[in-house]
Chains A and B, each alone.
Chain A
Amino acid sequence: MVAIGPDGMPVNMGAITQLLQELRIDNVVIADIMSALADGVDRVDGYEPAQVPERRFGTLGNGAALGHHTELARRAVREAILTMVHDLQHYGEGVDTFRKGFNVADQHAQEDLAHIAAEVGSVRSATDGGLDR
């Protein structure tokens, strides 16, 4: 469907309608994404591998060294998990922001369409039947 705008140019209302439908679909998709990200966070949030006391590797030179490096590596794992949880949460926040942005756009688009429709109506009225007659 093509309507005529106040400046006499066509406005593709069908395309706009399609876009608005896509917005609804996106919300479902985004919910899936949010769910998957939340699952990921739940799986590792608060988890860290237990410590192995350094002396449990023995007290020879390399035993102490292995204990030391194992502890450093364990902390690297812990940091990685913490960072990942943080990043996943940011992913989620970003997706949520994305969704909100869409909602705002959707709302504004609806209002603008109503406004344009009113203008189109006034043009039709002023031209005694409308340009699409």
Chain B
Amino acid sequence: MTRGPERLRLDAALAEADEAVVRGNGEAEWLSATYRLRDVSRALRVAANAGLGIGGQTGPAMFKAMRRSADHLDERIALFNEGRAALGSAADTISRVREQRDRLDTDPETAALTDPGEFRDDPEWDDEKRLREQSRHTAAASAFADREALREQRAREIAEEFDRRYDEPIAVMKKIHGIPDPEPETVSGDGGAGGGGRGSVPGPRGAGGTPGTGGLLGGGPHPTYAADPVGPGEGTDPGSGPGGGTDGTTLGPDAGDEPTVLTTATTGGSGGSSGTAVGVGLGGGALLGGLAKGGVLRGLTGGALVGGQQVRATARSQTRPLGGLSRSAVSGTLGRGSVVGAPVSGRPAARGGVGAASSAGRTSTGRGTAAGAGGRSGTRGAGGRAGGSPTAGRRRDRDGSSDHEHYDDDGSDWLDDEAAPGVLG
């Protein structure tokens, strides 16, 4: 059976393609990922609902933050699910193309005909016989040529369909990874020496078709991504020659062994800073919702509300500010402590000084600062000072909002302020 260049090109493409791998490693694995992520989303919602039980301002803030994280995660899951479907579609495409290709050989209308070869004269034939044989051979040769042309045309159509059906999965994957296409260079040619396009004859890959050197910038209208070299006799890939430029983000053929770290991850930068965000949310939230607002910190020595009643301070200098959270107790979480402890009402030197020095109660503004969470062992860091000093007020001014507002907006303090975690924030 003869095969033209289009057919050989199609065969080469399908020889490497494997729908089972695409389905197993791709679709099934992505499905598993979405299932797992859904479980996480559910866990977040459970945690969020439980967080409501904390009450105060921390509880609702925790609820909002976690619920919002779950919402964001659900959006990601939906996107990843599109990727899963895209991989399933790609696997279907490979199967369909393979069937179409095979049908070329089995369908009577496109099945290969036997090549009649050259006309061979027989000396024993008389003229009439010779003419008849010549005519028969001519017809057979013509039918063969027509059939081959038809098969080539069908092979080309199938290959084009193969490529075209990948357009949508590619778009989905691009949407998921979010890395923009590189700008095409205008100086390069249209394919390069190694790439013959559809007109290339079967044979070894062109000299320029080295792995990984081709890239997104083939110079042609469509970026062509490099492929590994195909074996001799398997034809060529269009646009894979040296004319193809390089692409900074294009992975070499062996990149799978050494995964490239994406610096433009769509998940956004969270990393360590997300801890700060969460820490602020929790540490600050704890102070605000659990202590400051709850009244423990404001009570007794703070001259503030205790259980909804306003009482005067009772033990200003004698007693250490109640409910003091030493800095160590909330280590790393008091980044915005001074803000948390900033005045909520019109009182100067207000009540909620997070990490306020224990000595704050002995200052001239002792009544106000007493509610600040004083460290048990004396003065603490800047966060502590802020609670019982005018700094707290200045901090508030700078932020332009009260601590209450920090936690009452939408709960995003947990994640969004400093560095919203990419997935959850």
Interface string of A74-92 (1 = CB under 8 A from B): 1111011101101110110
Of B9-17, B102-110, B138-146, B378-386, the segment with at least 4 beta carbons within 8 Å of chain A is B9-17
A94-B33 in contact (CB<8A): no
Task: Pick the contact of B237: A32, A64, A69, A115 (CB < 8 A).
Answer: A64
Of B117-125, B315-323, B388-396, the segment with at least 4 beta carbons within 8 Å of chain A is B315-323
Task: Pick the contact of B306: A15, A67, A83 (CB < 8 A).
Answer: A15
Given contacts A53-B21, A62-B163, A63-B163, contact A102 B319 (CB under 8 A): no
Report the interface size for chain B: residues with CB under 8 A from the other chain. Answer: 133
Interface string of B327-339 (1 = CB under 8 A from A): 0011111000000
B153 close to A (CB within 8 Å): no
A130 close to B (CB within 8 Å): no
**B266 nearest in chain A by CB position:** A76
Interface string of B210-227 (1 = CB under 8 A from A): 000000000000111111
B186 close to A (CB within 8 Å): no
Given contacts A63-B162, A87-B423, contact A105 B296 (CB under 8 A): yes
Tell me the minimal C-beta distance from B196 to chain A in angstroms.
13
Which residues of chain B are near A48, meaning CB under 8 Å? 33
**A5 nearest in chain B by CB position:** B314
Which residues of chain B are near A84, meaning CB under 8 Å? 37, 40, 73, 421, 423-424
Task: Pick the contact of B290: A6, A32, A102 (CB < 8 A).
Answer: A102
Which residues of chain B are near A43, meaning CB under 8 Å? 36, 39-40, 43
Given contacts A40-B40, A83-B421, A109-B322, contact A65 B224 (CB under 8 A): yes
Tell me the minimal C-beta distance from A130 to chain B in angstroms.
15
**A61 nearest in chain B by CB position:** B224
B239 close to A (CB within 8 Å): yes
Cα of A91 to Cα of B50 in the assembled complex, Å:
13
B111 close to A (CB within 8 Å): no
Task: Pick the contact of A90: B174, B256, B279 (CB < 8 A).
Answer: B279
Among A62, A73, A97, chain B packs the most CB atoms within 10 A around the CB of A73
B33-A47 in contact (CB<8A): yes
Interface string of A8-50 (1 = CB under 8 A from B): 0111101110110011011001101100110110011001111
A131 close to B (CB within 8 Å): no
Given contacts A32-B50, A97-B279, contact A86 B421 (CB under 8 A): yes
Which residues of chain A are near B90, meaning CB under 8 Å? 57, 66
B315-A115 in contact (CB<8A): yes
B262-A98 in contact (CB<8A): no
Report the interface size for chain A: residues with CB under 8 A from the other chain. Answer: 86
Which residues of chain A are near B222, meaning CB under 8 Å? 61
Tell me the chain B residues, 242-287 only, with Cβ under 8 Å from chain A: 249-251, 253, 255-256, 259-260, 262, 265-268, 270-271, 274-275, 277-279, 281-283, 285-287
B17-A58 in contact (CB<8A): yes
B201 close to A (CB within 8 Å): no
B194 close to A (CB within 8 Å): no
Which residues of chain A are near B275, meaning CB under 8 Å? 90, 93-94
Cα of A39 to Cα of B38 in the assembled complex, Å:
12
A79-B265, A95-B282 known; 12 new pairs, CB 8 Å cut-off, are A49-B26, A49-B29, A56-B25, A58-B17, A83-B421, A86-B271, A86-B421, A91-B66, A93-B278, A97-B286, A97-B333, A108-B320
Q: Please name 20 pairs of A and B residues whose Cβ atoms are closer than 8 Å in the assembled complex, sorted by A.
A: A29-B50, A30-B54, A32-B50, A33-B62, A51-B25, A54-B253, A60-B237, A65-B166, A70-B26, A73-B176, A87-B425, A90-B275, A90-B277, A90-B278, A91-B66, A98-B286, A100-B329, A101-B329, A101-B330, A105-B373
Closest 9 CB pairs of A and B: A15-B307, A5-B314, A94-B282, A40-B43, A69-B173, A58-B17, A105-B323, A87-B421, A49-B29
Residues of A within 8 A of B (CB): 5-7, 9-12, 14-16, 18-19, 22-23, 25-26, 29-30, 32-33, 36-37, 39-40, 43-44, 47-77, 79-81, 83-84, 86-88, 90-91, 93-95, 97-98, 100-102, 104-106, 108-109, 111-113, 115-116, 119
Residues of B within 8 A of A (CB): 9, 12-14, 16-18, 21-22, 24-26, 29-30, 32-33, 36-37, 39-40, 43-44, 46-47, 50-51, 53-55, 58, 62, 66, 69, 73, 76, 80, 83, 87, 90, 94, 97, 159, 162-164, 166-167, 169-170, 172-174, 176-179, 222-228, 230, 237-239, 249-251, 253, 255-256, 259-260, 262, 265-268, 270-271, 274-275, 277-279, 281-283, 285-287, 290-291, 294-297, 299-301, 306-309, 311-315, 318-320, 322-326, 329-333, 373, 376, 414-415, 421-425
